[in-house]
C-alpha cells in the first residue's frame, strides 16, 4: 500500500466553482499537493457560508460569478461568519473593479484562472500565512482604474435591471418610486458613458462594478 505523505495538518480548502468539470479538475489537482486537502466543494454562491460553517476550511477558494449569490458577496459574509477562514478569489474575469470589490469584502488574494496549479497552491499557502496575493498585471490595472463612479443605489438599480425588468418592476423590487428609479438609471447611464440602461449594465459588468 502506498503511504500517505501528507503532513499531520494539511491546509483545509473549500472550493466554490459553478462549472462541474472545472471544479472537479481543480479539486483533483489541489488534492495532489501533499499539504492541501479539499474538504468541501460547492457549485452555488448561496451554499458557501453554510458549507464553510460545517467544513471549517482554512481557505475558501471562490469564483466570482456563481448562481445564487456572487463570490464577492459570499466573501463579505465569510469575513463575519468565519473570520478564521481566508478568502482567495479565483476567476476568469480579471477586472480592476472586481479586484477592488474583493479587497473591500476582505479577500486575501485575487488570481485569474489561466495560471498553473502550482502557483495557485502556493497562493493558498501564502494567504494562510497572512500574506496578500494579487495577480500583478491586474494590480497594476486596478491602480490606474480608480474607484467605481456608481453609488450603491445606482448599482442596486442596474442589478435589478439585468434581466430586462421594466422600470415598474425595478421600482417594486427596490421599494422606490418609478421617478426615483429613472433618476438613478439616468445617472448610471451618464457615468458609464452609455446610451441606455442595458448598455450601462454591460459596461458596469465589464468594469467589474456590478
DSSP assignment of 19-74 equals -HHHHHHHHHHHHTSTTEEEEEEESSGGGHHHHHHHH--SEEEE-SS-SSS-HHHH
What is the DSSP-derived secondary structure letter of residue 204?
H
Identify whether the C-beta of residue 208 lies closer than 8 Å to the C-beta of residue 101: yes
Give the dihedral sign, CA 105/109/115/116: negative
Can you read off the three cell numbers belonging to residue 210?
456590478
3-class SS of residue 110: strand
Exposure string of 25-59, with b = 16+ CB inside 10 Å and e = fewer, is ebbebbeebeebbbbbbbbebebbbebbeebebbb
**Residue 99 or 21, more confident:** 21
Cross-strand bridge partners of residue 86: 59
The pLDDT confidence band at residue 91, using thresholds 50, 70 and 90, is: confident
pLDDT at position 189 is: 86
Q: Which of 8-22, 96-110, 137-151 has the highest mean pLDDT?
A: 8-22
The pLDDT confidence band at residue 210, using thresholds 50, 70 and 90, is: confident
Distance CA 72, CA 87 (A): 10
pLDDT, one tens digit per residue, over 153-191 is 988 898 888 877 888 998 998 999 988 988 888 888 888
| pLDDT beyond 90 at 47 | yes
Q: Which of 57-61, 99-103, 114-118 has the highest mean pLDDT?
A: 57-61
| pLDDT beyond 70 at 140 | no
pLDDT at position 75 is: 94
pLDDT at position 24 is: 93
| pLDDT beyond 60 at 143 | no
Distance CA 32, CA 30 (A): 5
Cell match 456572487: residue? 70
Amino acid at each position: 500500500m502506498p503511504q500517505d505523505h501528507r503532513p499531520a495538518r494539511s491546509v483545509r480548502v473549500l472550493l466554490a466553482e459553478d462549472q462541474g468539470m472545472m471544479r472537479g479538475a481543480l479539486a483533483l489537482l489541489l488534492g495532489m499537493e501533499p499539504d492541501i486537502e479539499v474538504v468541501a466543494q460547492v457549485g452555488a454562491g448561496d451554499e458557501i457560508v453554510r458549507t464553510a460553517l460545517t467544513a471549517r476550511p482554512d481557505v475558501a477558494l471562490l469564483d466570482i460569478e456563481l448562481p445564487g449569490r456572487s463570490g464577492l458577496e459570499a466573501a463579505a459574509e465569510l469575513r463575519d461568519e468565519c473570520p478564521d477562514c481566508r478568502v482567495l478569489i479565483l476567476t476568469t474575469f480579471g477586472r480592476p473593479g472586481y479586484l477592488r470589490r474583493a479587497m473591500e469584502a476582505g479577500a486575501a488574494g485575487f488570481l485569474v484562472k489561466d495560471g498553473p496549479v502550482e502557483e495557485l497552491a502556493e497562493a493558498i499557502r501564502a494567504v494562510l500565512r497572512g500574506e496578500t496575493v494579487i495577480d500583478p498585471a491586474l494590480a497594476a490595472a486596478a491602480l490606474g482604474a480608480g474607484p467605481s463612479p456608481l453609488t450603491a443605489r445606482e448599482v442596486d438599480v442596474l442589478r435589478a435591471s439585468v434581466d430586462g425588468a421594466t422600470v415598474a418592476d425595478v421600482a417594486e423590487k427596490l421599494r422606490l418610486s418609478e421617478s426615483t428609479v429613472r433618476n438613478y438609471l439616468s445617472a448610471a447611464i451618464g457615468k458609464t458613458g452609455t446610451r441606455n440602461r442595458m448598455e450601462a449594465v454591460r459596461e458596469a459588468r465589464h468594469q467589474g462594478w456590478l
